[in-house]
Structure 1
């Protein structure tokens, strides 16, 4: 694990990269500052004009994002929360599902770090989100609701209408609608089901999983992908691990098609590494 430190100099350099400037780590940067650069530079993107969709989930050691009662306020530590806000600041838009919007009433701002607020996008097929929700009533950023019903929204809130099937909209259609509006670097923030839809559709370029040192015991999990029968069917993204003081970040790079490589774990006795074979004897 590499310890990462996001100093003022590192962050200003990343924001410059985000705006298309040619930026690189300074010659006097520490190892921790260079680690921070390696963590965030891929999502900052720089002059890369191509679309880039990434996701971030913060969870406990035992993989929970909230208690059974729904309390999710303090799952991530301070640095984990700052990490989320940095991801927002490096994105054109941030996407959440309506269940997350209803349960958490998030503001989707970057108030913990310098930067500009991303466009807020809510996936609300049935039009359940009230107009008084904080992320719609706060006009400090452009707001978009993607829905399947002909419901009017307040002035200043853009409505995109897409068909849905069993109250789920096609993630590829969502992606295309955002790209058509010039929103090319997009953070899919949650919840776990929304992230899973984009992951399983092969539309994510990167996934950050933040783990905080607490054990909740029960409650919703961070990612809820379709179950598999064998570990050989598992997705195994190329992963680097970074320490951010209060939280650990697993930086999972997905292949160009948006899907992690399939498992390469041995499936025959002849392929099992000797040390592991001996432990099973």
Structure 2
């Protein structure tokens, strides 16, 4: 008997259902009378349906590493940049470098996450909500790295009608929505953030921005995966996508295992930085 064909939208619903599961096993959808996917205890999976097109197959391949229940934790990040590696102009203008498909991808990553982490600079510059609006999926909790409490509580990210938001601080917290991740006067490190969030039960941690925050997690070895979306645009100057310490030999460069996908007019480079 021919395998059931699965559409792009149904594949996304299958991924969301897989995300909600807590143990490996069969995954199905209400419209299906048989399992469409089986997740295995070794972190692999078997698809029992035929993707309707290559884009659907790529969607499943790209997002299963985030939602597989056998993977105890995953820390991931995304950067959207121009061909010349810029995320914004010198004045901070960045809306939008990536196209519609790239923006949809960002919201899919949010839907995969238990919590989204951003730096205070991103909140100050962009006033983001960090909710899921362009695709189906749950809103993640939000966390702002703000050791000195300099972000105004009136910023959109602190509207908790959709999901809770935590301010990551150094020193004793002043409220239930502050989370101490370092002693007073001590720098907040990526490792301390990951440890603190995992201790609160967050398994899927999405480091959304900005460039300094993503770069610090990459340099600290705290990222499992990095999604780099490149738009066919040359800015020529501005804020670099990644800012890492200088190296003088190419054998010191990072060369992660990478898959490439097409996202509308953009290209996605899906980098595995640590084996699951």
- What interval of TM-score do these two structures reach, taking the shorter chain for normalisation? 0.7 to 0.9
Question: Is 1:212 aligned with 2:236?
Answer: no
Residue 169 (structure 1) aligns with: 188
What is the distance in 2 between the residues matched to 1:88 and 1:51?
A: 15
What is the distance in 2 between the residues matched to 1:61 and 1:30?
A: 28
What is the distance in 1 between the residues matched to 2:194 and 2:76?
A: 12
Select the residue among 40, 54, 64 that pairs with 2:86: 64
Measure how far apart 1:17 and its partner are: 1.4
What is the distance in 1 between the residues matched to 2:184 and 2:216?
A: 13
Residue 150 (structure 2) aligns with: 128
Residue 72 (structure 2) aligns with: 50
Q: Kindly tell me: are residues 27 and 256 of structure 1, through their superposed partners in 2, closer, same or farther at Cα, counting changes over 3 Å?
A: closer
How many residues in Structure 1 have an aligned counterpart in Structure 2? 249
Q: Kindly tell me: are residues 211 and 179 of structure 1, through their superposed partners in 2, closer, same or farther at Cα, counting changes over 3 Å?
A: same
Measure how far apart 1:246 and its partner are: 2.5
TM-score (norm 1): 0.83
Question: Is 1:137 aligned with 2:186?
Answer: no
What is the distance in 2 between the residues matched to 1:105 and 1:164?
A: 27
3-state DSSP of counterpart to 1:161:
strand
Summarize deviations over 1:123-143 as a string: whole Å, max 9, x none: 011111111010002421011
Residue 96 (structure 1) aligns with: 118
Summarize deviations over 1:42-81 as a string: whole Å, max 9, x none: 1222x22511101111111111111111111111111111
3-state DSSP of counterpart to 1:162:
strand
**Is the 2:170–2:183 Cα contact (8 Å) retained in structure 1?**
yes
Question: What's the C-alpha RMSD, in Å, of the aligned pairs?
Answer: 2.1
What is the distance in 2 between the residues matched to 1:51 and 1:182?
A: 10
Residue 16 (structure 1) aligns with: 17
Summarize deviations over 1:128-173 as a string: whole Å, max 9, x none: 11110100024210111101255746xxx61112337987412111
Q: Runs (4+) of structure 1 moved beyond 6 Å? A: 164-167
3-state DSSP of counterpart to 1:65:
strand
In structure 1, runs of 5+ residues without a counterpart are 1-5, 258-281
3-state DSSP of counterpart to 1:160:
strand
Compare the two structures and name the one with the higher strand fraction. Answer: 2
3-state DSSP of counterpart to 2:121:
helix
In structure 2, runs of 5+ residues without a counterpart are 1-6, 28-36, 38-46
**Is the 1:88–1:187 Cα contact (8 Å) retained in structure 2?**
yes
TM-score (norm 2): 0.84
Q: Kindly tell me: are residues 223 and 166 of structure 1, through their superposed partners in 2, closer, same or farther at Cα, counting changes over 3 Å?
A: farther
3-state DSSP of counterpart to 2:87:
coil
Residue 85 (structure 1) aligns with: 107
